[in-house]
Amino acid sequence: RAKSAGRNTYRFHSMEQDRRGAERLALESDLRRAVENGELEVYYQPKVRPTDHRIVGMEALMRWPSPKRGMVYPTQFIPLAEECGLIVPMGRWVLQRACADAQQLSQLLGEPLRVAVNLSSNQMRHDDISARVAEALAAAQLPAEQLELEVTESLMIHNMKAAVALLNDLRARRVRIAMDDFGVGYSSLSQLAHLSLDVLKIDRAFVRNMEQDAGNAAIIEAIINLAANLKLEVVAEGAETLDQVTRLKDLGCDLIQGYYYSKPLSLADLIAALQQGATFPREVDGEI
């Protein structure tokens, strides 16, 4: 690297950083206003049993239909929300909404539907999750067994002791716990056996190219066998083709969540789909 370029490079980076900083601030203030004005929505992606294609539950996924920015996806605002602390009110809200909606959908269907809510490590550090869960369940009159919390391995890394205590507490309340994005994180298998878990969710990265990549297919098979031996339910994320669904079913995967069955849907679209029957895939309008 030429030394002479150093100065200009520095100034370029500085301007670039200013621009990004300004954008970040604008996004943060827009997000803050969106939270205050109730602009956020919860979408639901069905979890389907591949043996009979029936919906058994769904994952709650935040969406921000911004009048100014168009539809904003969680990867664009969740990390920011975690940094600026907005994740706490947002997390409380999504938990309440999801429990209430699950109760409404279960009544509609005449059978209990489960709902899964994502929990990020910053929420755990800055909020009393146990208390918030108890409040949300009580307000919605949703049986605890119908709520699942999806945690990631990063939750364990930051504060293993607090995380174990929280999971044990939730377990004692009969709330289900899922390990999300399994296989791409860092937690050791020996740790896994000591956590109060009910579900393993296979990360989408393994499913995406399981037909072409024999290594990924082998990893999926290993995770499914591990889950069976640990008596955990196993969910595969991101199945988009019938071939993937068929292979996952043949490997013994309990549930599938992916575009093949359905994209995440607004509550109204999910209700419309359920009113046509509880099997998927259905001809419904998902998101683009």
**Helix segments in 66-86, DSSP class H:** 74-84
In the set 55, 56, 94, 256, which binds ligand C2E (CB under 6 A)? 94
Query: Among residues 50 and 238, whose Cβ is nearest to ligand C2E?
Result: 238
Q: Does 75 bind ligand C2E (CB under 6 A)?
A: yes
- In our burial notation (b when 16+ CB lie closer than 10 A, e otherwise), range 178-189 reads bbbbbbeeebee
Nearest to 46 by CA among 145, 113, 119, 144: 113
Amino acid identity, position 117: V
Nearest to 47 by CA among 261, 282, 286: 261
**Helix segments in 214-282, DSSP class H:** 214-229, 242-250, 267-275
In the set 148, 150, 233, 269, which binds ligand C2E (CB under 6 A)? 150
| Residue list 156-215, contact with Mg ion (CB under 5 A) | 180-181
Cα separation, 28 vs 84, in Å, equals 8
Give the number of other CB atoms < 10 A from CB of residue 273.
23
Query: Among residues 45 and 96, whose Cβ is nearest to ligand C2E?
Result: 45
Q: Does 61 bind ligand C2E (CB under 6 A)?
A: yes
Indicate which of Mg ion, ligand C2E, none lies near residue 72 (CB less than 5 to 8 Å, by partner kind).
none
**Minimal distance, residue 42 CB to ligand C2E, in Å:** 7
x/- track of binding to ligand C2E for residues 154-183 (CB under 6 A): --------------------------xx--
Q: Does 57 bind ligand C2E (CB under 6 A)?
A: no
What residues are paired with 47 via a beta bridge?
Answer: 57
In the set 62, 105, 163, 220, which binds ligand C2E (CB under 6 A)? 62
Indicate which of Mg ion, ligand C2E, none lies near residue 93 (CB less than 5 to 8 Å, by partner kind).
none
Indicate which of ligand C2E, Mg ion, none lies near residue 183 (CB less than 5 to 8 Å, by partner kind).
none
**Residue in the shown chain whose Cβ atom is closest to Mg ion:** 150
| Residue list 228-247, contact with Mg ion (CB under 5 A) | 237
Q: Does 118 bind Mg ion (CB under 5 A)?
A: yes
Contact 280, 53 (CB under 8 A): yes
Cα separation, 250 vs 247, in Å, equals 5
Amino acid identity, position 120: S
* Helix %, strand %, coil % of the chain (to 5): 50, 20, 30
| Residue list 182-241, contact with ligand C2E (CB under 6 A) | 204, 237-240
x/- track of binding to ligand C2E for residues 13-52 (CB under 6 A): --------------------------------x-------
Q: Does 259 bind ligand C2E (CB under 6 A)?
A: yes
**Minimal distance, residue 79 CB to ligand C2E, in Å:** 9
Tokens in use for 186?
């860092």
Q: Does 258 bind ligand C2E (CB under 6 A)?
A: yes
Cα separation, 231 vs 101, in Å, equals 29
Amino acid identity, position 54: R
Nearest to 263 by CA among 61, 53, 67: 61
Tokens in use for 68?
């100014």
| Residues making contact with ligand C2E (CB under 6 A) | 45, 60-62, 73-75, 78, 91, 94, 118, 120, 150, 180-181, 204, 237-240, 257-259, 264
| Residues making contact with Mg ion (CB under 5 A) | 118, 150, 180-181, 237
